[in-house]
Amino acid sequence: MLRDDVLTLLRQQEGEPLSGEAMSRALGVSRAAVWKAMEALRQEGYLISSAPRKGYWLEESPDLLSAGELARPGRRVGGEIICLDTVDSTNNEIKRRAVGEVPDGLTVVAGEQTGGRGRRGRSFVSPPGKGLYLSAALRPECPLSEVSALTAWSAVAVCDAIEAVCGIRPGIKWPNDVILNGRKLCGILTELELEAETAALRYVVVGIGVNVSQTEVDFGPEVAPVAISLAQALGKAPRRAEVARALLDSLDRLYTGFPQERAQWLERYRADCLTVGQPIRVLFAAGEREGTALGVEEDFSLRVAWKDGGEEVISSGEVSVRGLLGYV
Ligand code: BTN
């Protein structure tokens, strides 16, 4: 949409003026069309100043999740971005759009999810305007065995984005819950699609849900005791658009380094992982066992020392882990 393109140009200027003439040339449209797009932006709450012979510049933006706010032209993640007010699930939306060729790095962001999904078939509460719900389609070129590492890498990328915007670094509850003050700040659901005949990877969807301004009431009585939003942790909610941009930047860095930077990301994951050293309860399909998390292996599986003796390496697909001293 022209309005998004005009906004992207204005944002790239970082407050410096840009003439209507330059914009119409850059976008290949008339100056009248640029002016109309600018008026539409003002209607949405953008404060755009102008001065003769200088042009237009952006003074203030509302906290909107729009392509003009979030687009990352030329980047792999977010180079193509779709922003929706509401959707069942941003992961589902990627899958619907991936029937034909999947644009590498295609990103879907929504202001609300009516059927947000979590791991193990759970739902992910996604009230309107409160959280950041984002999914990106990635097509990494690597053996299938390496793809599962994307989930752990994504948790580190979320920690990077939160630290960049809020100045505090969350931790990770193995395998991939992002934790602040001992509660869950963000969940990640990674799904993949294979070619039926060849079992070759078509694409991976990395779906990320960050709690931004939820209150206890928004989470509901079941989730509230274990969840936290940035507003609850910081006393003030950051702008969702700012968190989204930081997340797109860190996901882009992740994708550029995947999988060759495996050693660095493993080291970073180990540094962020709060589970190591903690007493945990591991839920298997057949029952549960208690032990202590000893460390994260090279493939991001977890080494556990069982309370009743022996050690075992567990992988995230098989088990669910509960902290014995609080959520972590
Ligand atoms: C979990 O904690 O179990 C994972 C939650 C993942 C939620 C995100 S929100 C964006 C994307 N769309 C979904 O339906 N789920 C993921």
Domain edges within the chain:
2-60, 67-272, 279-323
Q: How far is the CA of 321 from the centre of ligand 1 (A)?
A: 18
Cβ 90 under 6 angstroms from ligand 1: yes
Encode 107-121: b = buried (16+ Cβ within 10 Å), e = exposed.
bbbbbbbeebbebee
Atom in ligand 1 nearest the alpha carbon of residue 116: 14
Cβ 171 under 6 angstroms from ligand 1: no
Q: What is the pLDDT of residue 307?
A: 96
Q: How far is the CA of 189 from the centre of ligand 1 (A)?
A: 5
Tokens standing for 155? 């948790």
Please return the burial class of 286, using the count of CB atoms within 10 Å of its CB with bins 0-12, 13-18 and 19+: exposed
Query: Of the CATH numbers 3.40.50.150, 3.40.640.10, 2.70.150.10, 2.30.30.100, which one belongs to the domain with range 279-323?
Result: 2.30.30.100
Cβ 91 under 6 angstroms from ligand 1: yes
Q: What is the pLDDT of residue 128?
A: 96
Q: What is the pLDDT of residue 71?
A: 87
Atom in ligand 1 nearest the alpha carbon of residue 118: 3
Longest CA–CA span in the chain (Å) reads: 78
Q: Answer for the pair 211, 229: CB distance below 8 angstroms, yes or no.
A: yes
Q: What is the pLDDT of residue 280?
A: 95
Q: How far is the CA of 37 from the centre of ligand 1 (A)?
A: 34
Query: Other CB atoms closer than 10 Å to residue 129's CB: what's the count?
Result: 14
Report the top-level CATH class of 2-60.
Answer: mainly alpha
Q: What span, in angstroms and rounded, lies between the C-alpha atoms of 212 and 229?
A: 5
CA 108: distance to chain centroid? 10
Residue nearest to atom 11 of ligand 1 (CA): 207
Q: What span, in angstroms and rounded, lies between the C-alpha atoms of 104 and 79?
A: 9
pTM across the whole model: 0.91
Q: Answer for the pair 171, 274: CB distance below 8 angstroms, yes or no.
A: yes
Cβ 173 under 6 angstroms from ligand 1: no
**Residues contacting residue 192 through CB under 8 Å, at least 6 positions apart:** 147, 201, 202, 203, 204, 205
Q: What is the pLDDT of residue 73?
A: 86
Cβ 207 under 6 angstroms from ligand 1: yes
Cβ 189 under 6 angstroms from ligand 1: yes
At which residue do the structure tokens 């932006």 appear?
41
Residues in the chain: 328
Q: What span, in angstroms and rounded, lies between the C-alpha atoms of 282 and 141?
A: 33
Q: What is the pLDDT of residue 323?
A: 86
Question: What's the average pLDDT block by block, 10 residues per block, for the chain (328 residues)?
Answer: 92 92 95 94 93 92 92 91 97 93 93 96 94 97 93 98 98 96 97 90 96 96 95 96 97 97 98 96 91 96 96 86 83
Atom in ligand 1 nearest the alpha carbon of residue 126: 9
Q: What is the pLDDT of residue 182?
A: 95
Q: Which CATH number is associated with domain 67-272?
A: 3.30.930.10
Tokens standing for 43? 């209607």
Q: In what order do the strands lie in the sheet with 287-296?
A: 311-314, 302-306, 287-296, 279-284, 320-323
